Amino acid sequence: MTLQTRRLAAARRYALVLVDLSLGFTNPALSPLASQADDVVNANVRLLAAFRQRSLPVFYTTVAYHRDDQARVFRDKLPGLEVLRAGSGLEDIDLRVAPREGEPVLVKHWASGFFATDLAARLRAADVDGVVVTGLTTSGCVRATALDALQNDFRTVVPREAVGDRDPDAHQANLKDLGIKYADVLSLDETLALLD
């Protein structure tokens, strides 16, 4: 039996949430967690320009560990996370999508940008009712953040071209599942059109 689904009504006001577009995920020469993500970064450059032009809120997340006891089970499961030590430089946002003054970078320790952060409160303070979730990786932190966005009652959009994954099959499967149950998975152009 096919699950009934429908497209969400557009939000009144969107924020852009760029998930983990840090060097640890965008630069394969520096990090085992990274993948070739130039197309994803370029799509985010376009989105950033559109959000900034309209003075819409922009938020970033990055992963950085200051202590051994932070997210220890997650790090035990995925040992590659150990490279994301605070001060390593791998937590720095890729300069191609560098934050401007007033665009906060939230440090997280788990997959979701909402878990154990104040992202939901910041979004509400910015008077938004919808989020555009982008970044890396689709099957991990993007999925977790998009799911939690919905669970915090934000209308959630995931632009296909603005997310990526080391595993193409996982990327496609997660976009399909997100689109059925948790978010509107749209093209970059469709997403940009929502802002107008």
- Average pLDDT value for residue range 22-37: 96
Domain ranges of the chain: 14-194
Q: Domain 14-194 in CATH: superfamily?
A: Isochorismatase-like (3.40.50.850)
- 152 in Cβ contact with 38 (< 8 Å): no
- Average pLDDT value for residue range 18-40: 97
Enumerate the H helices of the chain as residue ranges.
23-26, 38-53, 72-77, 119-125, 143-151, 168-181, 188-194
Distance CA 111, CA 113 (A): 7
Per-residue pLDDT at 1 exceeds 90? no
Closest CA to 134 of 77, 65, 54, 51: 51
pLDDT computed for residue 2 by the predictor: 79
Per-residue pLDDT at 156 exceeds 80? yes
pLDDT in tens, 45-71: 999 999 999 999 999 999 999 999 999
Tell me the sheet residues that pair with 19.
Answer: 61, 135
DSSP secondary structure letter of residue 92: S
Amino acid present at 76:
D
Burial state string for 43-81 with b = 16 or more CB within 10 A and e = fewer than 16: bbebbbebbeeeebbbbbbbbbbeeeebbeeebeeeeeb
Dihedrals φ, ψ of 190, to 5°? -65, -40
pLDDT in tens, 95-115: 999 999 999 999 999 999 999
Distance CA 19, CA 134 (A): 6
- How would residue 155 be classed by pLDDT, with cut points 50, 70 and 90? very high
pLDDT > 70: percent of the chain: 100
pLDDT computed for residue 103 by the predictor: 98
- Average pLDDT value for residue range 32-43: 97
Distance CA 23, CA 88 (A): 10
Question: Catalytic positions, please?
Answer: 141
pLDDT computed for residue 106 by the predictor: 98
